Structure 1
Amino acid sequence: MRSPKEPSDRTASSPPPRWAVRSARLIPLVVLPTGLWRLAMVCGFPSGYTKAGFVPFETPGAKVWMLALSVVCEVLALLSLGLVRPWGETSPRWLPVVGGRRVRPLAAVIPAAVGALALTAIWAAMPWWWAYPHPDMTSAGSLVVGVLYQPLVLWGPLLGAVTLSYYRRTRPRRLRAAH
């Protein structure tokens, strides 16, 4: 069995297409508005909620949840950049144990593809926020939240396209020759 540091039967991948790089850079920007909205609530701004509706967000647990959700979503969105950057094909040397090793393409493709499918299903099935008035929000707040959440519909399809581009660039040479 070959070690991940040894040469493989694949050639060096080609650079990612410009559209894939732009799409990967767009993903964190698509996720950012909802994260900023949540962070505003963590900082004590009602962010469209009525005074009565904002009460649950004053608890430490709710604030930790909102902060964690925002950070985790943005970190996951930023990981999509690995599909178009060199660290998505060879892990950075400073990482313990795996540093400097080739990233097996399917180790990136499978989680990214599952994520793209899940995100597409979640956001495609999500009703538009402003179509269903929320009793704890003002009508203007409901509209603003709807507008801030609407870009998330793009997260899954963008990630899917970037993942497909990564797979095509990094698949083994013997599979490339067959296509």
Structure 2
Amino acid sequence: MAVAALWWFVPGSYPYGAASEVTVGFNHWIEREPGVGLLLASGVLGVMLALGARSWPKPLGVGAAAQSLFFLLIMSDASVLSSIGYFLIPIVFLGVGALVAVGCVRRRPVAYAAALLLLAGLVLGLTTTDALSRYLANIAAGFGVYGERIAWSWVMAIITVVWAWLAYGSFARGRGTANPRWGRTVTILAACCGVPYALTRLSWVTPWPLGGYDPRTGQIEFLATATGDMATRLQGFTIGMSSVLSVVLTLGLISRWGEVFPRWVPWAGGRPVPVTLAVGPGLFAAAVLCVAAPGVLAGAVQSGSALDGVLFVVLFPCPVWGPLLGAAVFAYSRRRSAVLPG
């Protein structure tokens, strides 16, 4: 209700509606007055649920589910997913650097070659082109324009997850098969969901860059001439690497190294992977994808043509990706819990 009051008394604080440059969400069609009314009604319902939580646990679950659906379908959008992609970029770089460093310590020839290539690329990039500085400038400019809007999206996403957890706790916690047989299938399908976007963005460092969704035109560009800028190419490639990381980590849910750390991992090699280390990030990623799903459908509806809409959903298959990943993480958790002692 406090947020609703802010949006009402400070009109410029309302982040949604037709004036917003972010169109990947149904909130793009909700102007300030109805938006304030919807959020105020949600706040009143939330207070009523909190007051009656102990006396009526089942109605609390129903109400929490309704609240979660409201914030998921109406107030959230896909900008949460895009911000995660940018957040993963430094993690990818640090991960690659750590792998190369470990390989060098263990005196692996391939690690020495990779270290030389990375060093040569860094020196070449810093001395012969301003691609790196322009890349960082592009990132900073993007967050400067969309930062506040993304922050609001995160607020709504967090509220969505909290209500969903309350609903889950009322109805389903502790239920389920000890070792679901469908776990491997849904995990492979979840991993495949990240492949189209990864291939598209990785192509930006080749002579044949594939395009992507342009939020300004609502269309898919097949051969993105805009990616001729090396800084932009680098930006697309690094985001693509984040998607590759998601594919690899998803496959870890059905791989041996997802249960036992590989021998080459310092300090932890050969030890069991803590279940929460995989389940926690996995559930977080599944929640983010589910939150982004309505926004993806809204973006597809606003695309320039039916083909553009289909391609947009292929690049960002969040409506199926989120549930598949959630099911894969659930199966992993049940399988590991069934074999762990105690």
1:36 alignment partner in structure 2: 199
Relative distance call for 1:39 and 1:145 in structure 2 (3 A) is farther
1:3 alignment partner in structure 2: none
2:261 to 88, 91, 97: 91
2:293 alignment partner in structure 1: 123
Query: Residue 162 of structure 1 aligns to which amino acid in structure 2?
Result: A
Aligned residues, how many? 154
Shift of 1:109: 0.9
Could you tell me how far apart the structure 2 residues matched to 1:69 and 1:46 are? 14
Matches within 5 A, 1:1-179: 17-43=180-206, 44-45=208-209, 47=211, 48-49=220-221, 54-133=224-303, 139=305, 142-143=308-309, 145-149=311-315, 151-171=317-337, 174=342
Task: Please give the secondary structure, in 1, of the residue aligned with 2:334.
Answer: helix
Query: Residue 82 of structure 1 aligns to which amino acid in structure 2?
Result: G
Could you tell me how far apart the structure 1 residues matched to 2:200 and 2:307 are? 11
Relative distance call for 1:62 and 1:90 in structure 2 (3 A) is same
Could you tell me how far apart the structure 2 residues matched to 1:107 and 1:46 are? 35
Could you tell me how far apart the structure 2 residues matched to 1:81 and 1:150 are? 19
Query: Residue 194 of structure 2 aligns to which amino acid in structure 1?
Result: V
Deviations 1:4-30 (A, max 9, x none): xxxxxxxxxxx9644111111122221
Could you tell me how far apart the structure 1 residues matched to 2:258 and 2:312 are? 33
Query: Residue 330 of structure 2 aligns to which amino acid in structure 1?
Result: L
Query: Residue 274 of structure 2 aligns to which amino acid in structure 1?
Result: R
Relative distance call for 1:16 and 1:77 in structure 2 (3 A) is farther
Query: Residue 84 of structure 1 aligns to which amino acid in structure 2?
Result: I
Q: Kindly name which structure, 1 or 2, has the bigger radius of gyration based on alpha carbons.
A: 2
Task: Please give the secondary structure, in 1, of the residue aligned with 2:260.
Answer: coil
Q: CA RMSD in A?
A: 2.8
Q: Indicate if the aligned counterparts of 1:90 and 1:102 stay in contact, CA closer than 8 A.
A: yes
RCO comparison, higher one (Cα < 8 Å, 6+)? 1
Relative distance call for 1:55 and 1:122 in structure 2 (3 A) is same
Shift of 1:46: 5.7
Q: Indicate if the aligned counterparts of 1:89 and 1:102 stay in contact, CA closer than 8 A.
A: yes
Ranges in structure 2 where 5+ consecutive residues have no aligned partner: 1-177, 212-219
TM, length-normalised to structure 1: 0.71
Q: Identity over aligned residues, as a percent?
A: 29
Q: Indicate if the aligned counterparts of 1:28 and 1:74 stay in contact, CA closer than 8 A.
A: no
Relative distance call for 1:118 and 1:100 in structure 2 (3 A) is same
Could you tell me how far apart the structure 2 residues matched to 1:46 and 1:98 are? 40
Relative distance call for 1:76 and 1:133 in structure 2 (3 A) is closer
Could you tell me how far apart the structure 2 residues matched to 1:153 and 1:145 are? 14
Shift of 1:165: 1.4
Deviations 1:77-107 (A, max 9, x none): 2211222222212111121221101111111
